[in-house]
Amino acid sequence: MSLAQKPKVPGAAARAPWTDPDAKPFIRIRNVTKKFGDFVAVNDVSLDIYRSELFCLLGGSGSGKSTLLRMLAGFEQPTSGAIEIEGQDMAGAPPYDRPVNMMFQSYALFPHMTVAENVAYGLKQDGVARAERDERVAEMLRMVKLEPYGKRKPHQLSGGQRQRVALARALAKRPKLLLLDEPLGALDKKLREETQFELVGIQEKLGTTFMVVTHDQEEAMTLATRIGVMNQGQITQVGEPREIYEYPRSRFVANFIGDVNMFEGRILVDGVDHAVIASEEAGAQIRIGYAVPGREGDPIAVAVRPEKITMGRQPPAEAENVLSGVVEDISYLGGVSHYRIKLASGKRVRITQTNRDRHEDPITWEESVFLSWETPSGVALSS
Amino acid sequence: MSAGDLTGPGAGAAALDPWVQRLAPTLHRLGVSKGAETRGGISLIGLSLAWLVFAVMLFSNKGVGFGTIIYALFGLGLALWMLRVLTDGRRFVIALPMIWLLLFFLAPFLVVFKVSVAEQLIAQPPYSPLFTWAEGKLQITAHLENYQFLLEDRFYIDAYWTSIKIAAISTFLCLLVAYPMAYAIARSSPAWRNTLLMLVILPFWTSFLLRVYAWIGILSNNGVINNFLMWLGVIDQPIVMMQTNFAVYVGIVYSYLPLMILPLYTTLEKLDGTLLEASADLGAGPIRSFLSITLPLSLPGILAGCLLVFIPAVGEYVIPALLGPSDTLMIGRVLWDEFFTGRAWPIASAVAIAMLLFLVAPIMLFRNAQGQTEEGR
């Protein structure tokens, strides 16, 4: 699923810097808070980002992800806390004095300059000699496949081309860190998918550290080596895309990333390597494959992804993680079908099944069915 | 438009065809003709011509000249054209502003032009008619010696030169003062913005003449500034500011400042703030960002403001007359003297027309060039 996390060398993922306690982070964000008047946009965020990562900040609007990005770029100064880039404290450094470049959501291309002049702008500010500048601009335009467009003005380009100019301009100075604010937000769906691959390709080729802000969870899953999920100014979870999806640590993350069935209940048994949760909503006992935080009797929720639930007419052999209900709705989408099952408690459960087999006798509306899932599929969420 | 449209009242329009094509870009921008609607443009020019002649007839010495017959013919043409235009809804919409322009700009212009090619007479009116009718011959008598005189007499060239110099310097000073003000207004909070704009426009609500007079009280030897400086003990003798070019600059800059601030404000206010962020992000400090982003992007506002100040400043009469040295030869002053003191209407008209052509031609060229770059966008 994730493009970027796919290791180029077998076993590379095992040596990922964030799993290595000795690795030195490239960017350290320590207890950063940003207040606008009384409004707390970013609330005590600490985050380590490693060299050559493609880190995605994922969150809804107003979650503080853009503010955090703007603080890295230097457009905003933290109210408290510190930002270090390669061990250097960035406090008080203006945007033009940072080894950081940004690709703006609106692209912010200079309308009175040609594509080549736009790309050359940063180099010009650094006093790069003309010959080298021209060479670097040509190289950048080649990279984003816009070589023939150097003499055009931004308004003569399509949306996708403008996006690539913005990328080339931001990368021309070879920044240590590239910030991308909703880089694909303005593109249509098909172009977005193509561009995702290109972006990851460029990042892998250059090895630049990328930090992407997005509200699109699919985009984050596709691009990122790691995702930081933000909510109300705080980072609720940081992890590889797979980790975030499979082991969400809070109700918010579970709901924000993908579809999920949430069963509210109480801890019945809290063992060493397992737990049992009694859920009235589910009308059954749910077994979790690990010890959960909290004491017996504490409220807790169990999250199960729709595609992890199996459905049948006959009750399965196991006694735990078995629910029963009636098929209320089916939507056939070709590759997959979505089912909505109504449990005795009135709770609706969503199930996704791949349409691999051609059933002679498919399960249909109003049928009574049994639902079950393997113990490792359930995730207990206390927060 | 069929061939029939070119006959009759609009016959003159056929001869104007090359003109139409030359004027097409300008007309296009004025909203007169669009693309294939050159035909509409031609008919409008026909209308304009007819109307102009009609207007000249109205404004000229009534009933004396034999040209009245010609005027009447064209007046009839006008009436027919009006009928055509007014029965076509789309053209009607265009025609209204056109008629306005013709009535209040082109018609007076043509009257002045007619007078400028006349000969000075001691009569009522004090110039010779353009059309004369005698013994079955229609004669158009255009005297070009007025223009020749303008070129020959150093006096006029000096006056033009002084006017342009003073106007150019004032425009530049105006720009220097107005730019930071417009920038500050554009950058202020929306609540403040309206108040500040109001303050800029507020002086327009009192009489221009009174405001210029007020400067006498400020600048004169016994005025506010000198009294204050003498009270402070900085100077013993009053600094002479009245009746100097300095006072003229002060007066012009003060009077025309809003005309510079407003167009600058509109372009600066539209400026996308993220462009400046992008510039800073790419390593440009505030001054570099200003020079390479803000300034070029506000160029349309600068040009508009400069034109708005420069053009009226060239013909300014009141300010140099009240504040300037008595020997300042500005074209406005020359015009006044010729018209009212010398009663030399033809030469005064020639002065005005020459000035107009001198000012309008570069502006038209500039507008054309600008229009073409805009079409490229």
In angstroms, the CA B57 to CA B120 distance is: 20
* Residue B18's pLDDT band (cuts 50, 70, 90): low
Weakest mean pLDDT among A194-198, B48-52, B236-240, B360-364: B48-52
Measured CA to CA, the distance from residue A244 to residue B374 in angstroms comes to 51
Mean pLDDT value across chain B: 79
Residue among B96, B8, B4, B3 nearest B44 (CA): B96
Does any CB of chain B come closer than 8 Å to the CB of residue A155? Answer: yes
Q: 């206390």: which residue's tokens?
A: A382
Contact between B297 and A153 using a beta-carbon 8 Å cutoff: no
Contact B133, B67 (CB under 8 A): yes
Interface touch A122/B275, C-beta < 8 Å: no
B283 and A96 within 8 Å at the Cβ level: the answer is: yes
Q: How far is B189 from chain A (nearest CA, A)?
A: 16
pLDDT given at position B128: 84
Single-letter amino acid code for the residue at B13:
A
For A24, the token pair is: 């030195």
**Does the ipTM surpass 0.95?**
no
Distance from CA of B306 to the nearest CA of A (A): 21
**Pick from A108, A125, A155: CB nearest B277:** A108
- The reply to whether the predicted model has a pTM over 0.90 is no
Residue A187: the pLDDT is 86
Q: Which amino acid is at A102?
A: M
pLDDT score at B374: 55
Cβ-contact A64, A43 below 8 angstroms: yes
pLDDT band at B88 (very low <50, low <70, confident <90, very high): low
Contact B282 A96 (CB under 8 A): yes
CB neighbours of residue A20 within 10 Å: 11
Dist. CA B104–CA B35, nearest whole Å: 28
Asked if B288's CB is within 8 angstroms of A155's CB, the reply is no
Q: What are phi and psi of A93, to 5 degrees?
A: -75, 125
pLDDT at B80 over 90: no
The residue extents of the domains of chain B are 3-143, 147-375
Q: What is the pLDDT of residues B220-230, one digit of tens each?
A: 998 999 999 99
The DSSP symbol for A76 reads S
Question: Is there a contact between A126 and B293 if contact means CB atoms under 8 Å apart?
Answer: no
Q: Please return the burial class of B49, using the count of CB atoms within 10 Å of its CB with bins 0-12, 13-18 and 19+.
A: buried
Residue B326: its pLDDT value, please?
Answer: 84
Binned at pLDDT 50, 70 and 90, residue B22 comes out as: low
Q: How confident is the model at residue B74 (pLDDT cuts 50, 70, 90)?
A: low
Q: Which of A116-130, A243-257, A272-286, B28-42 bottoms out in mean pLDDT, i.e. has the lowest?
A: B28-42
Show the 3-state SS of A160-224: HHHHHHHHHHHHCCCCCEEEEECCCCCCCHHHHHHHHHHHHHHHHHHCCEEEEEECCHHHHHHHC
Name the CATH architecture for the domain at A259-381: Beta Barrel (2.40)
Whether B281 sits inside 8 A of A73 (CB atoms) is yes
Q: What is the CATH number of domain A13-99+175-252?
A: 3.40.50.300
According to the model, what pLDDT value does residue B188 have? Answer: 92
Q: Token pair for residue A303?
A: 């999250």
Confidence of residue B11 (pLDDT cuts 50, 70, 90): very low
Strands A209-214 and A54-59: parallel
Model confidence at B33: pLDDT above 50: no
Element (H, E) at A241: helix A241-246
Whether residue A108 and residue B284 make contact (CB cut-off 8 A), yes or no, is: no
Which residues of chain A are within 8 Å of residue B292 when distances are taken between CB atoms?
A: 121
Position A229 pLDDT exceeds 50: yes
Structure tokens at A59: 């969150």
* pLDDT of B110: 82
Contact A47, A18 (CB under 8 A): no
> What's the per-residue H, E or C state across chain B?
CCHHHHCHHHHHHHHCHHHHHHHHHHHHHHCCCCHHHHHHHHHHHHHHHHHHHHHHHHHCCCCCCCHHHHHHHHHHHHHHHHHHHHHCHHHHHHHHHHHHHHHHHHHHHHHHHHHHCCCECCCCCCECCCEEEECCEEEECCCCHHHHHHHHCHHHHHHHHHHHHHHHHHHHHHHHHHHHHHHHHHHCCHHHHHHHHHHHHHHHHCCHHHHHHHHHHHHCCCCHHHHHHHHHCCCCCCCCCCCCHHHHHHHHHHHHHHHHHHHHHHHHHHCCHHHHHHHHHCCCCHHHHHHHHHHHHCHHHHHHHHHHHHHHHHCCCHHHHHHCCCCCCCHHHHHHHHHHHCCCHHHHHHHHHHHHHHHHHHHHHHHHHHHHHHHCC
| pLDDT above 60 (res A200) | yes
| Cβ-Cβ contacts under 8 Å for B23 (sequence gap 6 or more) | B41, B45
Q: What is the DSSP letter of A70?
A: H
Question: What is the Rg, in whole angstroms, of the alpha carbon atoms belonging to chain B?
Answer: 26
Q: What pLDDT shows up at residue B32?
A: 44
d(CA A67, CA A192): 24
Between B62 and A178, whose confidence is greater? A178
Record: contact B280-A94, CB cut-off 8 A: yes
Burial grade of B374 (CB within 10 A; 0-12, 13-18, 19 or more): exposed
Confidence class for position B23, pLDDT limits 50, 70, 90: low
pLDDT of residue B101: 72
Question: Residues A5-18: what's their mean pLDDT?
Answer: 54
pLDDT of B8 = 40
Residue A316 contacts B, CB cutoff 8 Å: no
Per-residue pLDDT at B376 exceeds 70: no
Chain A nearest C-alpha distance from B273 (Å): 9
DSSP A281-340: TTTEEEEESS--SS-TT-EEEEEE-GGG-EEESSPPS-SSSEEEEEEEEEEE-SSEEEEE
User: How many percent of chain A have pLDDT more than 70?
Assistant: 96
**Res B25: pLDDT:** 56
Q: Which residues pair with A57 in a beta bridge?
A: A213, A228
- Cα B56 to Cα B117: distance, rounded to the nearest angstrom: 14
- Over range B104-108, report the average pLDDT: 77
Share above pLDDT 70 across residues of chain B, in percent, rounded to a whole number: 72
How high is the pLDDT of residue B60?
56
- For residue A9, pLDDT over 50 is answered with no
Any chain A CB within 8 A of the CB of B280? yes
Query: How do the domains of chain A map onto residue ranges?
Result: 13-99+175-252, 259-381
Is residue A182 over pLDDT 60? Answer: yes
What are the beta bridge partners of residue A28? A48, A84
Structure tokens at B242: 């009245």
Tell me the average pLDDT across B321-327.
88
Interatomic CA distance for residues B43 and A374, integer angstroms: 84
Task: For residues B158 and A300, give the distance between their C-alpha atoms in angstroms, rounded to a whole number.
Answer: 94
With 0-12 / 13-18 / 19 or more C-beta atoms within 10 angstroms meaning exposed / middle / buried, residue A296 is: exposed
Q: Is the peptide bond before A306 cis (omega within 30 degrees of 0)?
A: no
To the question of domain B147-375 being in CATH 1.10.3720.10, the answer is: yes
Instruction: Encode pLDDT of B244-290 as tens digits.
Output: 999 999 999 999 999 999 999 999 999 999 999 999 999 999 999 99
Give the residues across from A269 on adjacent strands.
A276
- Distance from C-alpha of A171 to C-alpha of A202, rounded to nearest angstrom: 10
pLDDT at B358: 80
d(CA A150, CA A116) in angstroms, rounded, equals 5
Does residue B150 contact residue B354 with C-beta atoms inside 8 Å?
yes
The alpha-carbon radius of gyration of chain A (Å, integer) is 25
pLDDT category at B85 given cuts 50, 70, 90 is low
The model's pLDDT over A298-335, given as tens digits with 9 standing for 90+, comes to 899 999 999 999 988 888 887 788 999 999 999 988 88
Grade residue A188 by pLDDT with cuts at 50, 70 and 90: confident
Q: How far is B377 from chain A (nearest CA, A)?
A: 7
Two structure tokens written together for A66: 């853009």
Q: Tens digits of per-residue pLDDT, A25-46?
A: 999 999 999 999 999 999 999 9
Which chain A residues are Cβ-neighbours of B282 within 8 angstroms? 96, 101, 121-122, 125, 169, 173
Reported as a single tens digit per residue, the pLDDT across A337-362 is 899 999 989 999 999 988 877 677 78
